[in-house]
Every structure is written in C-alpha cells, then in structure tokens.
Structure 1
Amino acid sequence: MADEGVPDRLAPLLAQYDWASERLLARLTGPDMDSGDGERVAVPPLTDAEYLWEPAPGAWSVRRKVDGPGPGATVLVGAGDWGRDGGRPHPWPPPVTTIAWRIAHVAEMLLGRAEYTVGSRQGSEADLVYPGDADGGVALLARGVAAWREALVTADDAALDEVGRCTYPDGDDADQPFLEIVWWVNQEVLHHGAEIALLRDLHGALHRS
C-alpha cells in the first residue's frame, strides 16, 4: 500500500515489510496466498493442532500456566492463563519451537517496538496475554503487524537517523539509528515467517491422510 510522505530511504523497507507480513498472515489464514510469482494457491486456515504441534522433543511452546514451563524453560511469560516458554540464559543449542511460540515471539517484538517508538514506552512481554488457540495467536500477530507499521509511517527522514527513537529494552535499540531497527525487524519477520511456513508444510506432510 502507498503512503504519502514516506522518506525515499524508508519506502523500499516499508514495501518489503508490507509484502512479508501480508504473505505471512495469508499463509496462516487463507483462503489463498500469492505463491511468489503472482499465482494464487489455496491455503487452509491454521488449526489449533498445528499451532501447538511440537515438531521435536523438548520443543518450546505456548502453554497453560497451570501445567508449568516446558523442558529447559524456567518461566511461562505473559499475563494470562497461557504463557510462552522462556527464561535466561536460553538453553544451548536453542530448542526447536512451535508455531505458537514463533507467532508469540514475532507479535511481542512488533508490539513492543511499536510501544517503545510511538507509545508510552512502558510495559514488557510479561504484560501480554498469549492466546492458547490458533485464531487468537493470528489475531495477536495481526495486531503487532499493524502497530509496527503505524510506527514506521510516523518517521520522517530525520527520524531515520535518530539514535534512540526506539528504546525497546530487549535489544540494543536505544543505541541504534532508527533505520537500523527497521532493517532488523524486517529480517525478523522474513526469517520467522519462513520458519512458520515450513512448520505448516511439515505438519501437513506428516499428518496427511
């Protein structure tokens, strides 16, 4: 989508973000998506079984608080009845994670960075409510996508060079020009989006009747 007044340096990164996030959401919701060459391919909506499917032993996920953290996790992050496996230091090698965990990670990154760019600069991932179902997870992700986009289109050319425009605490954002953060967020959406798509493909291949 076109936005008037977007700086020339930001325009290609905004277009990339729009394409990546639109494609990721379509890959989760259907009914179809662009295959990459303009052809529309059918996509079934993400199911709860896929959302919480653990593709390997010891996978991190989103879990009911009453069940406690998964293997290697020390906390279930979040403010609701469900939480995301977490805790520092992270295990090494890093655990394989579920679609639910990856959606939660991307959503909290987008919402948090938006909050610490154009919001009140308060709160943390501990304040988020992580859904235990696929529809809720996708809705949380869509909210994050929209929030970060709103933060992007508020930036003029001078803002792109501003160090500390984003003060998101779970990174070195406060020490970086805003344009560097924009680039970083794009690659996070791209690579985690690809991981989520691959997990959908694997689940389908293993559970196809």
Structure 2
Amino acid sequence: MTTPTRLRPLLDQFDHACARLLGRLAGPVMDSGDGTDTRVHPLTDDEYFWEPVPGCWSVRRRTDGPAPRATHLAGGGAWGRDAAPYPHPWPPPVTTLAWRLSHLTEMLALRADHTTGSRSATRAEHPVSGDAAAAVAAFTAGAAAWRQALLSADDTALDTVGHCAYPYGSDAEEPFLDIVWWVNQEVLHHGAEIALLRDLYRAGGRPG
C-alpha cells in the first residue's frame, strides 16, 4: 500500500527520533546532531535504575512495593512501574530513565495493538523490563510494532476518529493523524529527557 502523502513526514520524523534514541541508548555511536558520530556505551543497569534525586518514581520489583506518592506498580510480571490514578501527585515526581523508557514502550506497544492487533492489550498485563538490555529490546519491538501499524493506514484511516482504540488517551475522540502526531511528540520529548539523564549520570551520577 502506498503511504499517504500526509503521513510521510510524520513517519520520517518517527523513524529519525527512534534511531537517535536507540543510538543514544545502545551505541556504539550516536548522532551528535551535527553530522558526526559520538561514541556512546550501551545503557547499563546502574544507569537504568539511577535516581537523580530522592523520591523518584521508577521501575521496581513487585515485591518491593511502590515508591512514595505512588499507589501501585503498573504492568505485568515480576516488575512494575510506579503509578497513581488521576489526579496525579503535585508537584510531579521526578522519574528515572527506567520509568520513562517503560512508559514509552508501553504506549507504543499498546497503541499498535489497539490499531491493528487484538485491541485487547492492557497496562495491567504489559510486561515491565527489569534490566537495561531487556528494556532497550522492548522499546525496539514496540517502535517496530507502531511503525507497522502506521504503514497499514490509508487516507481514510488517518481521518477516522477512534481508528486507534487505545483506552488510556484521547484516541477515541481524535482523528488518527492527530494521534500519530502526538506519539511522535512523546518519543521526541521523552527521548530528550532520557538523553539528558544519560548526560547527568555520566557527569557525576555514577554510584560510589
């Protein structure tokens, strides 16, 4: 199927944002932004779990329970992500790289399922990764699934309100093209946050 003209720039933007984020996480080089490659080591477990300030929300073993101001651990399996129902705590808790990457991965995987999959995937069942390598692999898979869902969209789908049935956002009220735009913004801004956390860790956040 031919990609609709309106979708092409958004698809290109998504591909570029994901490639930059994965390069920043996995190395061996990343796009520095000026056309040159910068060496980077793969994300470590220490970085994945690093809490830059006290009271961070993160990814935790379910047996350890949620962080302060969180009410539960979202996700399925032995690990979960700190969460609370609306209205969220104020001021918002600082979240770790693990939290942000898990949030992105869940959003991509579940939106893909609710667009071209079973339309039954839930946060309660979505697996949360307990180490850095698994988290990067899960993000890669989630991004690929969402991209495949985008490739299935024609012009009619782009204009259809509720084409994506993702139950944790405004998808039921928005044309699919607007949801595609929103997902790109999520990848861009959380990707930038993740990159900054890597820089802060490298500059002085190493344990010990």
1:91 and 2:89 correspond: yes
Map 1:111-126 to 2 at 5 A: 111-126=109-124
Q: Deviations over 1:170-195 (max 9, x none)?
A: 01101110000000000000000000
- The answer to whether the 8 Å contact 2:105/2:138 transfers is yes
1:64 and 2:61 correspond: yes
Q: Runs ≥4 in structure 1, deviation > 2 angstroms?
A: none
Residue of structure 2 aligned with 1:52, choices 22, 28, 49: 49
1:19 and 2:5 correspond: no
Residue of structure 2 aligned with 1:193, choices 191, 194, 197: 191
Q: Deviations over 1:140-166 (max 9, x none)?
A: 111110010001010111111011100
Q: Distance in 1 between matches of 2:35 and 2:4?
A: 28
Residue of structure 2 aligned with 1:100, choices 98, 101, 113: 98
Q: Report the alpha carbon displacement of residue 123 of structure 1 after superposing the two structures with TM.
A: 2.3
Q: How many residues align?
A: 206
Map 1:70-89 to 2 at 5 A: 70-89=67-86
The structure-2 alpha-carbon separation of the partners of 1:67 and 1:91, relative to structure 1 and needing over 3 Å to count, comes to: same
TM-score, normalising length: structure 1: 0.96
Q: Deviations over 1:45-80 (max 9, x none)?
A: 000000000111110000011110011101011211
Q: Deviations over 1:67-101 (max 9, x none)?
A: 10011101011211110000213211110000000
Residue of structure 1 aligned with 2:32, choices 35, 42, 45: 35
Q: Distance in 2 between matches of 1:133 and 1:178?
A: 33
Give 1:110's aligned residue: 108
Q: Distance in 1 between matches of 2:189 and 2:7?
A: 20
Q: Distance in 2 between matches of 1:207 and 1:195?
A: 15
Give 2:174's aligned residue: 176
Q: Report the alpha carbon displacement of residue 207 of structure 1 after superposing the two structures with TM.
A: 4.0
Q: Distance in 1 between matches of 2:121 and 2:30?
A: 35
Q: Distance in 2 between matches of 1:78 and 1:107?
A: 12
Identify the range of structure 1 (28-37 vs 191-200) with the bigger mean alpha-carbon deviation. Answer: 28-37
Q: Distance in 2 between matches of 1:192 and 1:116?
A: 22
Q: Distance in 1 between matches of 2:130 and 2:136?
A: 11
Q: What's the secondary structure of 2:124's corresponding residue?
A: helix
Q: Distance in 1 between matches of 2:195 and 2:96?
A: 11
Identify the range of structure 1 (81-90 vs 145-154) with the bigger mean alpha-carbon deviation. Answer: 81-90
Q: Distance in 2 between matches of 1:31 and 1:54?
A: 24
Q: Report the alpha carbon displacement of residue 18 of structure 1 after superposing the two structures with TM.
A: 0.1
Q: Report the alpha carbon displacement of residue 125 of structure 1 after superposing the two structures with TM.
A: 1.1
Fraction of identical pairs, as percent: 62
Q: Distance in 2 between matches of 1:181 and 1:129?
A: 23
TM-score, normalising length: structure 2: 0.96
